[in-house]
Structure 1
Amino acid sequence: MRRRPERTGQAGAAGPRPAGRARGPHAGAWWLWALGLSTAASRTTNPALLALLAAVAGYVVAVCRVPDTPWSRSYAAFLRLGLVVVVIRLAFAVVLGSPIPGTHTLLTLPEVPLPDWAQGVRLGGRVTAEGLWFAFREGMRLATLLACLGAANALANPARLLKSLPGVLYEAGVAVVVAMTFAPHLVADVRRLRTARRLRGRTEKGVRALLEVGLPVLEGALERSVALAAAMDARGYGRTAAVPPAVRRATAALTLGGLLGLCAGTYALLAATGAAYGLPLLLAGLAAAVAGLRLGGRRSVRTRYRPDRWDATAWLITASGVAVAALTIWAAAASPAGLDPPVVPLTAPSLPLWPAAAVLLGLLPAHLKGARP
């Protein structure tokens, strides 16, 4: 009888890695941190602050992302998408005009006459520096939002995020997580195919190269979809426990009412007026939504293997994003000129001190030992 060789070496001597340190912080904490940065970006049109927010998100991604994972390599794709958004916004301002009146004319394009029912829309005409600056600021704000959400997509493991969802949201969470994992896998497939073409000495540019790369990418997406459907069916996806009708009605009422309260309270807090009743409405909606989710969890029969714990690192990551959002909202109400500088007259942007210091609080996850891989 052949004797099985014994395992030797560093891997056998070191033993298994600690589970908590290898898994990193809670995936939901990264999304809350990114949503805080996104909220701050939505409250300002200052290009200096927007660039600082994008730099903070990029630095945290570079320090805290887990290498060699499909989702960690998707951040560059979000940055390219943001650059495309800025270019398209500038192109629209040149071709369709801008609502901002300006005095610094850069060029004058031939204007196409339009019928009377197209009032307020023009094709061509005068292109001003003020109009282009306004379009650049709006495009950069949207690009910064994409960068913040891309940072969450690159830092949070989608499978771990799905495990942490309440039972009542499990079906919807599966759909959302599958949709979120499409972009990282797409980027990985495109990179792998382009590398294979380069090794075979084929060109990477042109329509033919795009078609030869696009068809295998679509084929791989279809194969992953079929494999995912088979795995979900084998694991009994969609099976629920029997609950009384009264519990189902109470769950629906609490969840719907809580979500409406959350939306109304958030809108009141973000609006110029309504802060007096916004916070109580937000807290009441949050309590109702949590109660509805706890009741709805009774219909879920699934179990969690090694559930993620919300530890001190997750609290600190979440607190940094919430602090950036809260201080930026306060700064926008206290000194709106610093966060939304006027376009006319045309002036260079300046970096306000206190909002910039608030944005730098978003760098806290990069200095936490538990957040780094």
Structure 2
Amino acid sequence: MSAAPSVPRGLRVFTASVLTAPEASRANALHAGAWWLWALGLAVAASRTTNPLLLGLLVGVAGYVVAARRTDAPWARSYGAFVKLGLFVVALRVVFSLLLGSPLPGTHALFTLPEVPLPDWARGIRIGGRVTAEQLVFALYDGAELATLLICVGAANALANPARLLKSLPGALYEVGVAVVVAMTFAPNMVADVARLRTARRLRGRPTGGVRAVLQIGLPVLEGALERSIAVAASMDARGYGRTAQVPAAVRRTTNVLTLGGLLGVCAGSYGLLAAEGAGYGLPLLGAGLLAAVAGLRLGGRRTVRTRYRPDRWGARAWLVAGSGVAVAVLMIRASAYAPEALRPGVVPLEAPELPLWPAVSVLVGLIPAFVAPVPSPLERNT
């Protein structure tokens, strides 16, 4: 009997180092862009189905990864807000369906609302009337799809450090990135200030509810926000923010054409991927748009004369995290071609949704970051 072939020692060491998640540090910090690619892959997968079982599985995958790899920073606490926003979207979609009706023909009547008579020019629109089970289920499916998209975006906000994401942006997008990061971190910091002030008032025996308490808390919160804005402006001025280099006019025009054309291609390609019948042209157009946009941003970066201190590296773990999200999106797009009925269960006639095997396995690929991404250290969890 022949002996089993041995695995080279170097390959064993590399595999163990990649598959064993270490404690996060500055040296092995995961690139923020990898989290966004992973989350966008889950969002694309959610856009290909209205099956509530698959959508719930996507939400569960995103929630598990967030629970396993997020820190306790203010921006990392936004996932719960996105979940609540998703539930609000589902409820709002159902309410609009009940009030404005639905074009779906339904046979299972649940109840009848008082109908408001409308003029002839509003023919085809109704307010109130008969509510059917098919109409209600269709609204739930539609709202759950949009809610899952929001929750996937919330997962990226909870996992990707906005400051590190800003450091990784191309030089041409630095000014826009600063504005986006400030906007993303303002609300979480304000929420943290409110919680801190409420805790301080509670320890001093003062009320934390009522109009008077809100007014007394609001002034310190606004004062703190103003102080942070002044500190940010002073630090940006000290670092030479806004200083640009001179580039030829031909380079500027070429940059504008490539960037604008690339972004239009990305938008059209993204629409093709999200649409039900656009997967054929969406992927090539998205690829061409990305190449043009990257070239334009590369040329536009010549105007920025800044340097990066300890830039985040795109290592093997970042490839695994980003690749898992891309794999989920590709597999779900493929599944929409061979199992469209399973991904979009019928409403007329009304039928119970089933959990398809291979699309469910495809969604579970999104759990890879929970095992390969660096584990936040206790110090990082409290920063």
Residue 65 (str. 1) matches residue 65 (str. 2): no
Residue 20 (str. 1) matches residue 27 (str. 2): yes
The match for 1:140 among 137, 144, 149 is 144
Map 1:114-263; keep pairs closer than 5 Å: 114-200=118-204, 216-263=220-267
Equivalent residues of 2:86, 2:150 under 8 A apart: yes
Q: Could you say what secondary structure the match of 2:115 adopts?
A: strand
Deviation, structure 1 residue 145: 1.1
Deviation, structure 1 residue 129: 1.5
CA separation of 1:282/1:97 partners in 2, compared to 1, >3 Å: closer, same or farther? closer
**Range moving further from structure 2, 317-326 or 86-95:** 86-95
Taking structure 1 as the reference length, the TM-score comes to: 0.87
**Residue type at the aligned position of 1:249:** R
CA separation of 1:37/1:215 partners in 2, compared to 1, >3 Å: closer, same or farther? farther
CA separation of 1:112/1:171 partners in 2, compared to 1, >3 Å: closer, same or farther? same
Q: Could you say what secondary structure the match of 1:111 adopts?
A: strand
Deviation, structure 1 residue 212: 5.4
The match for 1:45 among 47, 50, 53 is 50
Structure 1 residues 76-126: Cα deviation after superposition (integer angstroms, max 9, x where no partner):
111111111111112222222223222222221211212223333322221
Structure 1 residues 170-222: Cα deviation after superposition (integer angstroms, max 9, x where no partner):
11111122222233223323433443454455666666665555555444434
- Correspondence for 1:289: 293
- Correspondence for 2:360: 356
- Correspondence for 1:12: none
Q: Could you say what secondary structure the match of 2:294 adopts?
A: helix
Q: Determine the C-alpha separation between the residues in 2 that align with 1:205 and 1:124.
A: 38
**Range moving further from structure 2, 244-253 or 307-316:** 244-253
| Number of equivalent positions | 354
Structure 1 residues 217-256: Cα deviation after superposition (integer angstroms, max 9, x where no partner):
4444344333323332332221101111111111112222
CA separation of 1:100/1:153 partners in 2, compared to 1, >3 Å: closer, same or farther? same
- Correspondence for 1:31: 36
Q: Determine the C-alpha separation between the residues in 2 that align with 1:122 and 1:205.
A: 42
Deviation, structure 1 residue 348: 1.8
**Range moving further from structure 2, 269-278 or 111-120:** 269-278
- Correspondence for 2:81: 77
Equivalent residues of 1:73, 1:187 under 8 A apart: no
Root-mean-square deviation (CA, aligned residues, Å) is 2.3
Equivalent residues of 1:75, 1:153 under 8 A apart: yes
**Range moving further from structure 2, 122-131 or 361-370:** 122-131
**Range moving further from structure 2, 210-219 or 319-328:** 210-219
- Correspondence for 2:19: none
- Correspondence for 1:4: none
**Residue type at the aligned position of 2:355:** L
- Correspondence for 1:305: 309
Identical-residue share of aligned pairs (%): 72
Q: Determine the C-alpha separation between the residues in 1 that align with 2:207 and 2:51.
A: 41
- Correspondence for 2:104: 100
Q: Determine the C-alpha separation between the residues in 2 that align with 1:105 and 1:329.
A: 35
Q: Could you say what secondary structure the match of 1:370 adopts?
A: coil
- Correspondence for 1:56: 61
- Correspondence for 2:8: none
Q: Could you say what secondary structure the match of 2:58 adopts?
A: helix
Equivalent residues of 1:29, 1:314 under 8 A apart: yes
Q: Determine the C-alpha separation between the residues in 1 that align with 2:284 and 2:109.
A: 50
Structure 1 residues 147-192: Cα deviation after superposition (integer angstroms, max 9, x where no partner):
1111110101000000000001111111122222233223323433
Taking structure 2 as the reference length, the TM-score comes to: 0.85
Residue 347 (str. 1) matches residue 347 (str. 2): no
Q: Determine the C-alpha separation between the residues in 2 that align with 1:75 and 1:44.
A: 22
Equivalent residues of 1:77, 1:187 under 8 A apart: no
